[in-house]
Structure 1
Amino acid sequence: MQAILSGAGPILVFMACVALATYAQNLTGFAFSLILLGLVSVFDIVSVNEAANAATVLSLINAWTYFRARPGPVPWQLMKPALNGSTVGVIVGLMLLVWLSGSAVVWLKGLLGVSILVCAVLLLLQGKPLPAVSGRTSFALIGGLSGVLGGLFSASGPPIVFHMYRQPLDRELVRRALLLMFAFNSLVRLVIVVPTGHFSWRSALLAGCAMPVVYGATRLHHRLPNKLQPRTLQWLVGGLLSVAGVTLLATAWTAIAHG
């Protein structure tokens, strides 16, 4: 019994992290994978690779639940150039992940910490919208960069979030566009990772246990929407991201310094 409880502990902590990340995702339209991987790495529950694989599945569940709860048009045409670019980016990111996982796990955590901090800064320093929607080339380049982060961490957030929140578009449309991007990247990543044998049973277990949490948290947010001001939400999520990012960087730096 003690062995079972000790084994269940990390899974319960992971599920709690998933609940927090899902709620933040529904508030802002992004940050699910970054918050989840940041918290998982801080608590040292599982490896970054396993957490990223689980986050890939959970991102799909989150997007499916959100679109099901809020029927409406999916911005395929707007995001098509970004989706095309991200397909290539995901492949590049997965190749980097295989190399870093085998030779430099500490550097991988440090890179994740930097990504989380960049996302926090972009969230807190959002400027005025552009006068017109950016061109297809801009969307494709940003999509490719986001795809690299999606392949590495299943966290496409920083580049595409900064890009989309600068567009003169309705915030609900931006949120739906981001969810579409994250779900697409997750699907591409999953299609590559599973057949190549890089999706472990532990990742499947974590994803399976956390699926009801993602579904429940998303539905709860739909029924009980928040009443906080958008700027307050940005500071709350940005602060959480900053703490996770700084902690990861400090841990990675300490390990490198003593290595």
Structure 2
Amino acid sequence: MSEIPFVLLAFFVLGSYVQTITGFAFGLVVMSAAALFSLVSLEVAAFSVSVLSLLNCVTGLAGGLWRQVNRKILFAFFLSSIPATVFGVYLLGSLDDDALHWLQLMLGLTIILACGMSLLKPKKNESHSPSWAFFLCGGFAGILGGLFATAGPPISYLMYRQPVSLNVIRASLLGIFVFSCLSRIGITTLAGQVTMEMIWLSALGLPCVFITTLLAKRYPPNVSPEVIKRVAMVLLLLSGVSLALKAIF
């Protein structure tokens, strides 16, 4: 890697800050920026997002929160998520440059869908969703995770509908994200798709994510997380629309 992508590092910082305050959006911020401004290839960006999200999620589970992970949900989710992730990684690696506009269109539509789901406030179910719902969700999330390292929106929407405490929801989501990131990193490595550019960019991003997370926790903004979430989602929605239009035209 001949040049340090300072612009992308800035988006690492922005994504880390938004995720620390609101609990999500790191992958969406980085992937949308990488694709919209052609900063790095989608393969490189997705690998870096997986590595850096893993750091963020492991940090979030520290202090005993991991004990509240719902293991039954985790198992049902990963029965379908892992093979779907394999398919997504294969699809991303097998598409050539002529299919780049299709990838950009798919990413743009994914961002639009994710923003729409995030702006909605899911209503709590009276009872727990059946295991097959998490199985189906795992398949959809796995394909998104394999392609763009953005497996979060489908499972987040489903989890927030469950009649359980916010701590259980947060712990279970972080646990799912940890295993999703580990799965994608492992699959990419076994497929021989990891490059020095991916490793270099991930190494540069680690201090960006770590320092930003610490500062955001220590010095939270005077604005409510809900306001930051909505502003971030509107900006991401615009970036998703721009990316889809760029792919079409």
Scaled by the length of structure 1, the TM-score of the pair is 0.88
Q: Secondary structure at the match of 2:31?
A: helix
Q: Quote the Cα distance in structure 2 between the aligned partners of 1:85 and 1:28.
A: 28
Question: What amino acid is the match of 2:9?
Answer: M
Q: Deviations over 1:69-104 (max 9, x none)?
A: x43224141322112221121112112212334551
85, 88, 98: which one aligns with 1:90? 85
Superposed displacement of residue 171, structure 1: 2.7
Question: Unaligned regions of 5+ residues in structure 2, if any?
Answer: none
Q: Quote the Cα distance in structure 2 between the aligned partners of 1:182 and 1:115.
A: 17
Q: Deviations over 1:147-172 (max 9, x none)?
A: 11101111102211211122223333
Q: Which moved more, 1:229-238 or 1:19-28?
A: 229-238
Cα pair 1:41 1:47 within 8 Å, conserved? yes
Percent identity of equivalent pairs: 32
Name 1:177's counterpart in structure 2: 172
Q: After TM superposition, list the pairs within 5 Å mapping 1:15-164 onto structure 2.
A: 15-68=9-62, 70-72=63-65, 73-77=67-71, 78-101=73-96, 103-164=98-159
User: 2:241 aligned with 1:250, yes or no?
Assistant: no
Q: Quote the Cα distance in structure 2 between the aligned partners of 1:227 and 1:159.
A: 30
Name 1:257's counterpart in structure 2: none
Q: Alpha carbons of 1:19 and 1:157: their partners in 2 closer, same or farther (altered >3 Å)?
A: same
Q: Deviations over 1:232-251 (max 9, x none)?
A: 23312211220220121121
Q: Alpha carbons of 1:169 and 1:224: their partners in 2 closer, same or farther (altered >3 Å)?
A: farther
Q: Quote the Cα distance in structure 2 between the aligned partners of 1:79 and 1:94.
A: 21
Q: Secondary structure at the match of 1:194?
A: helix
Superposed displacement of residue 226, structure 1: 4.6
Q: Secondary structure at the match of 1:44?
A: coil
Cα pair 2:27 2:150 within 8 Å, conserved? yes
Q: After TM superposition, list the pairs within 5 Å mapping 1:193-204 onto structure 2.
A: 193-204=188-199
Q: Secondary structure at the match of 1:30?
A: coil
Superposed displacement of residue 186, structure 1: 1.3
Superposed displacement of residue 210, structure 1: 0.5
Cα pair 1:146 1:156 within 8 Å, conserved? yes
Cα pair 1:85 1:141 within 8 Å, conserved? yes
Q: Quote the Cα distance in structure 1 between the aligned partners of 2:9 and 2:234.
A: 21
Cα RMSD after superposing both structures: 1.9
Cα pair 2:35 2:104 within 8 Å, conserved? yes
Question: Unaligned regions of 5+ residues in structure 1, if any?
Answer: 255-259
Scaled by the length of structure 2, the TM-score of the pair is 0.91
Q: Quote the Cα distance in structure 1 between the aligned partners of 2:125 and 2:223.
A: 26
Q: Alpha carbons of 1:148 and 1:36: their partners in 2 closer, same or farther (altered >3 Å)?
A: same
Cα pair 1:97 1:152 within 8 Å, conserved? yes
Cα pair 1:50 1:202 within 8 Å, conserved? yes
